[in-house]
């Protein structure tokens, strides 16, 4: 049998390594039950090899068999009490069981042994966010960012925390960082458009909606929103084109007809506006805003 000598002076058979590789493939394919069987075969060949214990612990975690996951972690720690991967998995077990305090203890243990452990740093930030300790959360998440500045998951979590802290300008800056990494990040452009709109930054909102529509030209809600923003910019004819395109794609939404009515009202064409308000009211009879717009248009018409 061919043997392979590793740097830590352990010797492994190619059969063991092949089994670990096969188990890893099954794990990536989310075939966890099959992966367990393969990892156990590998462990039988190398009963004192940490990698197999860790793999089994991680796979049982995915299977939500927390007792088994914990058992394999403990066996790994018997071989090496300072094994940071096993300690991290134990932290994940506690986290999945809803025991945030024990999870934090484990992740902090990892950081004492390995201060640049990205996963543990991120998880601490996530737990503090869940506990609404937003300043503490931001500290750890930005530390995670310093290790991997292009990890989109980390950046999104930072954005969430900044919004929780009402630091909207900083959140917007981070959202734009994400778009530099993933230019077609549809939900990020949507969120940027929402944040700019809430701040009455309509030109910036339009720029973000341009990206949304570039990514998905058939997104009828964004087409309608573009029309609404163009109305804010007093570009009424352009607004009407976008709103009509939205209606072509999905004609059964009262809000889009409401937007179209608003556009014609802004244009001074009240008769058309009333027609579209009535269409909106037919589609969404319980919408108070539509009813109020229709009543106002009728009152203005009667005064003419």
DSSP tag of 148: -
Same domain, 103 and 145: no
CB within 8 A of 77, min separation 6: which ones? 83, 86, 87
Give the CA distances from residue 65 to residues 24, 38, 42, 68, 93, in Å, rounded to whole numbers and listed in that order: 18, 17, 20, 6, 9
- Residue 129 in any domain: the answer is yes
154 shares its domain with 238: no
What CATH number corresponds to the domain at position 248? 1.25.40.10
- Provide the total of helices (H) and of strands (E) in the chain, helices listed first: 17, 2
State whether 57 and 101 are in the same domain: yes
Average pLDDT over residues 164-187: 98
- Residue 214 binned pLDDT confidence (cut-offs 50, 70, 90): very high
Note whether residue 173 is domain-resident: no
Domain identity same for 159 and 188 = no
103/131 same-domain check? no
| pTM for the structure as a whole | 0.87
Which stretches of 131-185 are DSSP H helices? 134-147, 152-164, 168-181
Residue 29 covered by a domain: no
Task: Say how many domains are in the chain.
Answer: 3
Is residue 61 assigned to a domain?
yes
Residue 59 lies in a domain: yes
The domain of 151 spans: 116-166
**Are 94 and 130 found together in one domain?**
no
Q: Do 71 and 61 share a structural domain? A: yes
**What is the predicted pLDDT for the residue at 42?**
95
With 60 as the cut, is the pLDDT of residue 2 above it?
A: no
Residue 15 in any domain: the answer is: no
Helix (H, G, I), strand (E, B) or coil at 11: strand
Q: Which range among 107-111, 186-190, 222-226, 296-300 shows the weakest confidence by mean pLDDT?
A: 296-300
How large is the average pLDDT for residues 206-218? Answer: 98
**Is 191 in the same domain as 293?**
yes
């Amino acid at each position: 049998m061919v043997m392979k000598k590793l740097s830590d002076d352990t010797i492994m058979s190619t059969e063991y390594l092949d089994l670990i590789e096969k188990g890893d493939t099954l794990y990536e394919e989310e075939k966890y039950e099959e992966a367990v069987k393969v990892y156990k075969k590998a462990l039988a060949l190398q009963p004192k090899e940490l990698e197999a214990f860790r793999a089994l612990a991680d796979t049982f975690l995915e299977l939500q068999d927390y007792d088994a996951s914990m058992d394999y972690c403990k066996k790994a720690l018997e071989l090496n009490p300072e094994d940071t991967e096993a300690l991290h998995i134990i932290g994940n077990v506690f986290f999945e069981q809803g025991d945030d305090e024990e999870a934090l203890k484990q992740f902090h243990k990892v950081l004492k042994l390995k201060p640049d452990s990205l996963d543990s740093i991120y998880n601490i930030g996530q737990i503090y966010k869940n506990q609404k300790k937003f300043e503490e959360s931001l500290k750890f998440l930005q530390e995670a960012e310093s290790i991997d500045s292009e990890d989109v998951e980390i950046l999104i979590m930072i954005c969430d925390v900044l919004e929780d802290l009402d630091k909207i300008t900083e959140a917007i800056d981070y959202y734009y960082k994400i778009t530099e990494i993933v230019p077609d990040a549809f939900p990020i452009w949507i969120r940027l458009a929402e944040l700019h709109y809430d701040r009455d930054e309509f030109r910036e909102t339009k720029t973000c909606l341009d990206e949304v529509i570039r990514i998905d030209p058939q997104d009828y809600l964004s087409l309608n929103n573009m029309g609404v923003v163009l109305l804010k910019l007093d570009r009424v004819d352009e607004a009407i084109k976008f709103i009509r395109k939205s209606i072509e794609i999905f004609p059964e939404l009262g809000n889009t007809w409401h937007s179209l009515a608003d556009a014609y009202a802004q244009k001074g064409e009240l008769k058309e506006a009333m027609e579209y308000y009535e269409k909106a009211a037919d589609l969404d009879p319980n919408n108070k805003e539509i009813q109020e717009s229709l009543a106002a248009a009728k009152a203005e018409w009667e005064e003419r």
